[in-house]
Amino acid sequence: MTQTYHQLRAELTSALTGFLDPEEAQAEGFRWFEEGLGLPRSWMAAHGAGEVPAEVRRKIDAWMDRRRKGEPWAYILGWSLFRGHRFTVTPETLIPRPETELLVVAALEVGQRLKVDRCVDIGTGSGIIAVSLALETDWKLSATDLSPGALKVAKMNAKSLGTAIQFHEGSLLNPVPDPVGLVVANLPYVDPTDQPSLQRELSFEPPSALFAPDRGLALSTALLIQAHARKSPACLLEIGAGQGGELCRRAMGVGWRKALIHQDLAGHDRILVALA
Ligand SMILES: C[S@@+](CC[C@H](N)C(=O)[O-])C[C@H]1O[C@@H](n2cnc3c(N)ncnc32)[C@H](O)[C@@H]1O
């Protein structure tokens, strides 16, 4: 039976509605066409009445088998966009989240104001923060992660986007030589007791990229202590909704002069800026 691209897209959106809300299903359907098949909306407008070849249909069916089991689209595709650049992602790296752009924007603002010349991204994952800062500043960038698998992906992304970043394997600031400069991090901050109620997709991401003891606060607290002891001028962290008050108190308690919270578009605590 023949099928047009328009019919295939309608069928795809309806299948995605089986496990996404209608708006998300519509948006993801466009992404499958645009990112997966390389067929943007403009192409659809001109050629959508054309017949779908069997190989395209097979691709969609294979992706749908994986997606129905909860695998996120970015892992099926193998890449994700962050600040307009394409980053390879694998099951060893967290999938970039739009909120993390707020951390990059805050780091640019604070770093420029304090006239820093170097910056370290702790828990770099796929490398999105370090690579974005390397592309948008002339700072000397370094990045760390505990996971060798994530570091391999980060190095690949740094290279393919033409940046020179010093990578170190190890925990927090331990592998980073002095002076550390500006410290930025999107470390795991999810409370492990929330795990049973989380979205099915999250079970495909590495637990070591999501969860931290002490209600999600342990790694952020440890980095605030280390960064202050290592004389960083500022430490910027992505944090969980509702963690701002407690983390500001902890930051001030370990000697930072000022601690501020930036909220995201939904009004949730999202970025902590600790200033020396
Ligand atoms: C939430 S993911 C963030 C990845 C990436 N920065 C991003 O924003 O997409 C946290 C990352 O921190 C790493 N990580 C976890 N514990 C760490 C530690 N003690 N020291 C360094 N990295 C750690 C994980 O392997 C993971 O790649």
Q: What is the pLDDT of residues 207-239, one digit of tens each?
A: 999 999 999 999 999 999 999 999 999 999 999
* 83/102 Cα distance (integer angstroms): 11
Q: Is the CB of 158 under 6 A from ligand 1?
A: no
- For the chain, what is the total number of helices (H) and then of strands (E)? 10, 9
Q: Helix (H, G, I), strand (E, B), or coil: what is residue 174?
A: coil
* 58/69 Cα distance (integer angstroms): 17
Residue 184's DSSP bridge partners are: 121, 236
- The string of DSSP codes covering 195-234 is GGGS-GGGGGS-GGGTB-TTTTTHHHHHHHHHHHHTT-SE
Model-wide pTM > 0.85: yes
Contact 102, 188 (CB under 8 A): no
Q: Is the CB of 125 under 6 A from ligand 1?
A: yes
What residues of the chain score a pLDDT lower than 70?
A: none
The residue whose C-alpha atom lies closest to atom 8 belonging to ligand 1 is 186
Q: Is the CB of 202 under 6 A from ligand 1?
A: no
pLDDT at position 195 is 87
Q: How buried is residue 155: exposed, middle or buried, by Cβ count under 10 Å (0-12/13-18/19+)?
A: middle
Q: Helix (H, G, I), strand (E, B), or coil: what is residue 25?
A: helix
Q: Is the CB of 186 under 6 A from ligand 1?
A: yes
Ligand 1 atom nearest to CA at 150 = 27
pLDDT at position 133 is 98
Whole-number Å distance, alpha carbon 185 to ligand 1 midpoint, is 8
Q: Is the CB of 216 under 6 A from ligand 1?
A: no
pLDDT at position 200 is 87
